[in-house]
């Protein structure tokens, strides 16, 4: 399967969630078993030779890919959630995105010091969410093995908020 088939399974939804935003809808990709499996395999590719100990998946679509990657690579999974959704004591980070601001959290004991992790989300846009997740990992003493996303919106320059990080994007717009 080619990246073109994966890219073709992503549809544009104009003016969602706000006017002027073109939302990249991944639900058609998720609905097609072969395409979803190929996308997960491609997201795992940079880590096959030296898997991280943990995959950190960002709420909510990062959970889909991150959990599948953790299963495929034989690693643990750590959820990074929107504020107020985790039951145990948390650490938090604020961030801005293309249409607002928010806070994400992780359990304070999620990343043992020195643990190699890969951070996963569906989209790298302005970089705020991924930079906040990277901050949470580093504050707990984790080492970032890489950041993987299905889609990168390069015109928003999100990589600029992640200096020094290795970023793997399957599809770039």
Distances (CA, A) of 91 to 5, 83, 104, 112, 172: 39, 10, 8, 14, 31
Classify burial at 79, counting beta carbons within 10 Å of its beta carbon; exposed 0-12, middle 13-18, buried 19 or more: buried
Cβ atoms of 62 and 29 within 8 Å: the answer is no
**Cα 148 from Cα 57, distance rounded (Å):** 10
Instruction: Map tokens 């072969």 to a residue.
Output: 34
* 78 three-state secondary structure: strand
Instruction: Give whole-number Cα distances, 163 to 40, 64, 95, 103, 143, in Å.
Output: 25, 26, 16, 21, 14
Active-site choice (98, 108, 159, 165): 98
Task: Yes or no: say if 57 and 80 are a contact pair by the CB < 8 Å rule.
Answer: yes
Assess whether 61 carries a catalytic annotation.
yes
Which one from 38, 61, 81, 152 is the annotated catalytic residue?
A: 61
Q: Take residue 136 and report the two structure tokens written for it.
A: 């949470």
Active site residue 38: no
Catalytic residue IDs: 61, 98
């Amino acid at each position: 399967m080619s990246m073109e088939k994966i890219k073709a399974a992503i549809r544009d939804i104009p003016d969602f969630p706000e006017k002027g935003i073109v939302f990249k809808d991944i639900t058609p990709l998720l609905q097609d078993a072969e395409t979803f499996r190929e996308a997960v395999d491609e997201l795992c590719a940079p880590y096959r030779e030296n898997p991280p100990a943990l995959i950190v998946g960002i709420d909510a679509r990062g959970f889909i890919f991150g959990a599948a990657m953790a299963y495929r690579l034989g690693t643990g999974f750590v959820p990074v959630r929107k504020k107020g959704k985790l039951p145990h004591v948390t650490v938090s980070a604020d961030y801005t995105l293309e249409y607002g601001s928010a806070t994400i959290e992780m359990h304070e004991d999620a990343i043992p010091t020195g643990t190699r992790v890969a951070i996963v989300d569906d989209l790298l846009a302005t970089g705020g969410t991924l930079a906040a997740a990277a901050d949470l990992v580093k504050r707990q003493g984790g080492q970032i093995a890489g950041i993987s996303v299905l889609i990168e919106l390069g015109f928003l320059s999100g990589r600029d908020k992640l200096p020094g990080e290795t970023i793997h994007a399957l599809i770039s717009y």
